[in-house]
Structure 1
Amino acid sequence: MNAPLHLVCPHCHAVNRLPAERLGQAPNCGQCHRPLFDGQPVELDAAAFPRHLARNDIPLLVDFWAPWCGPCRMMAPHFAEAARLLEPRVRLAKVDTEAAPQLGAQYGIRSIPTLALFAGGKEVARQTGAMGAQGIVRWVDSHL
């Protein structure tokens, strides 16, 4: 039997322990009882980001974006579609660099949209510019 995975709830941010074999069985959070995966990117602020980065045992794909950015808004539905295609293998998240400028600065985000892929709490790949859903999935798969 595999070691249990730690998954951070996208709703209440509680850390859940889940047997790896249950990952694809639509698990719910033990605290708030909402789905751990709902096919939508989770919006992360400066307070929630470190927990999702450090405590998720699955890779984390982050879209650093801003509301005023046209290419960011254009990519948003494609990023949401990528969430439906990549979950539960990968957690997708969005960080609004206007609302959380310290995260943009901490990760050296110089242009948006920027996708950053984290595994084991470390950045493993970065891509700048808008992409379609299939392109996002191919890019993630090429780095995991």
Structure 2
Amino acid sequence: MSAGGNCGACKQPLWPDQVLELTDQSFAAHTGRSDLPVLVDFWASWCGPCKMMAPQFEQAAKDWRGKVRFAKLNTEQAQGPASQFGIRSIPTMILFQNGREVARQSGAMNQAQISQWLQSKGIR
């Protein structure tokens, strides 16, 4: 059993250890229906700073497990949400609460900076 509990229907962990990979099809469902804040990293495979930030983002996801849901969206493969939210530079993180954007940060950050940024947005 995972620390965040399991789904009653499918028995899968509600909060798996890994960062969720979003697609055009899954983006709205995951950012709009979560009771917890959702932090989405908009990135691309060719982006050097994105690659540098990836392990830091994954570590922050482990630190915030059960408090914030961490997800990634590849802007090359899922251009709809990237366009909808006006992503102009990557990496860009957007924090969603109750389906709405509440904060945005562009540029690579390390794990401590991600945590500090979340705390500055009132996430505990």
TM-score by length of 2: 0.92
Q: Which amino acid aligns with 1:93?
A: A
Where do residues 98-113 of structure 1 align in structure 2 (5 Å cutoff)? 98-113=76-91
Percent of aligned pairs sharing the same letter: 50
> How many residues in Structure 1 have an aligned counterpart in Structure 2?
121
Give the whole-Å Cα distance in 1 for the aligned partners of 2:46 and 2:87.
16
Q: What's 1:115 paired with?
A: 93
Structure 1 gaps of 5+ residues are 1-23
1:62 aligned partner, one-letter code: V
C-alpha offsets along residues 67-95 of structure 1, whole Å, 9 cap, x if unaligned?
01010011000000010011111100000
- Give 1:83's aligned residue: 61
Summarize deviations over 1:22-59 as a string: whole Å, max 9, x none.
xx943012232121112321000011111111110110
Bigger radius of gyration: 1
CA RMSD of the aligned region, Å?
1.3
> Which of 14, 39, 42 is equivalent to 1:36?
14
Say which structure, 1 or 2, has more relative contact order (CA 8 Å, 6+ apart).
2
Q: Which runs of at least 4 in structure 1 moved beyond 4 Å after TM superposition? A: none
Gaps of 5+ in 2: none
Distance 2:48 2:14 in 1: 30
1:14-25 superposed matches below 5 A: 25=3
